[in-house]
Amino acid sequence: MADTRPFPHSENIHVLTVPLPGFPDLICSNMFVLGKGPVTLIDAAPKFPGSFFTMERQLSDAGITWRDVERIIITHGHIDHFGLVGQIRHAASRDIPCHVHEDDLWRLSSEYLGSGMWSRDADSFAARAGIPAVTVERMKRRSHFFKNLCDPVDNALPMEEGDTFEGKGFELSVIHTPGHSPGSCCIYERHSRILFSGDHLLKHITPNPFHEVNRSRLRSPEYRSLKAYLASLDKLEHLDMSFAFPGHGDSIDDIKGLMEGYRRHHRERFESVQRALEGRSRSLYELMTDLFPGLVEAETFLAISEVLVHLELLEEDGKARLIDEGPPARYGCT
């Protein structure tokens, strides 16, 4: 069983938890069950061996079966949030409606997952960043492994900001909070004032506003993930929240304090990226090795993404500039 403290009790909300092997920072994956009689699920953990049955046991302890599930709401299109949808539908013997923001719909498709989650866009990103070929090959293999942690959901339904879902004892509304992914959403429950925050707010680590490699999938080519992420934090600032129930790890009570900590983290990171550019031009890969010496290779994409999202905003502020298109592209101070 994952090492998490119990969530605060809330009428009509059950928390199901599975460990996440290989992701020590994320601790565990959480799934939330809302209502009585017909129930609504928020998120559907990754498909690790045994995770479905772990969830099923916890569900049956609450006196609920998969057949009681009326709908599944996915906070965002990452595999560790929709991995079990296929198995849950199979166990319920019907295609339970599954909702995800339209900007992340493609991530659930067999067309994308069948490609091993690696695209032409990813190839040009790797070349532009200056990642060595041998590392790119390992990144591709890792990406192919990840796709095995979910089943595709080709008939997911698009949801948008302001959509509402109701059931016995709960009233949910969708708040679009892009940044971690373009289609990331938080789901707000009006009576308990609980925010189901997906990966937008996490207690133990700062969420990654992942650089969106698949630029051709974006509705807005201007999308910058960190800029969107910080705007999404601001969007929650005046929301009346009792707790946040995140997709991983423990519940969050000091939400404002947590968000302020994230903003501080990003301010510090802006400064360190700017300092690393002083007096010389660097590729993204070089910047990454300067800023994260001794990083394990499996973290390459995460670290490059972290550098790039800050660099994009430094460029926008006129504090950094593209010196050479490359590939690899080289950046410098202004």
The answer to whether 199 contacts Zn ion (rule: CB under 5 A) is yes
Q: Which amino acid is at 330?
A: R
Between residues 225 and 283, which has the closer beta carbon with respect to Zn ion? 225
Tell me the C-alpha distance between 303 and 223, whole Å.
Answer: 19
Between residues 149 and 314, which has the closer beta carbon with respect to Zn ion? 149
**Contact region with Zn ion (CB under 5 A), list: 4-12, 160-168, 199-207, 271-279:** 199-207
Between residues 78 and 101, which has the closer beta carbon with respect to Zn ion? 78
Least Å distance, CB 191 to Zn ion, is 27
Which 8-state DSSP code applies to residue 298? Answer: G
Least Å distance, CB 180 to Zn ion, is 6
Q: Which amino acid is at 63?
A: G
Choose among 238, 303, 311: nearest CA to 271: 311
The answer to whether 224 contacts Zn ion (rule: CB under 5 A) is no
Q: Which of 47, 71, 78, 248 binds Zn ion (CB under 5 A)?
A: 78
Please list, in sequence order, all residues whose beta carbon lies within 8 angstroms of the beta carbon of residue 173, skipping any fewer than 6 positions away.
162, 163, 164, 187, 188, 190
**Contact region with Zn ion (CB under 5 A), list: 78-86, 101-109, 135-143, 271-279:** 78-86
Q: Hey, what are 90's tokens? A: 């199979």
**Contact region with Zn ion (CB under 5 A), list: 196-204, 254-262, 282-290, 325-333:** 196-204
**Contact region with Zn ion (CB under 5 A), list: 2-10, 71-79, 185-193, 258-266:** 71-79
User: Contact, 56 vs 41, CB < 8 A?
Assistant: no
The answer to whether 89 contacts Zn ion (rule: CB under 5 A) is no
**How many CB atoms are located within 10 Å of the residue 322 CB?**
13
> What are 321's strand-pairing partners?
332
Q: For residue 141, with 0-12 CB atoms within 10 Å meaning exposed, 13-18 middle and 19 or more buried, which class applies? A: exposed
* Positions that interact with Zn ion (CB under 5 A): 78, 199
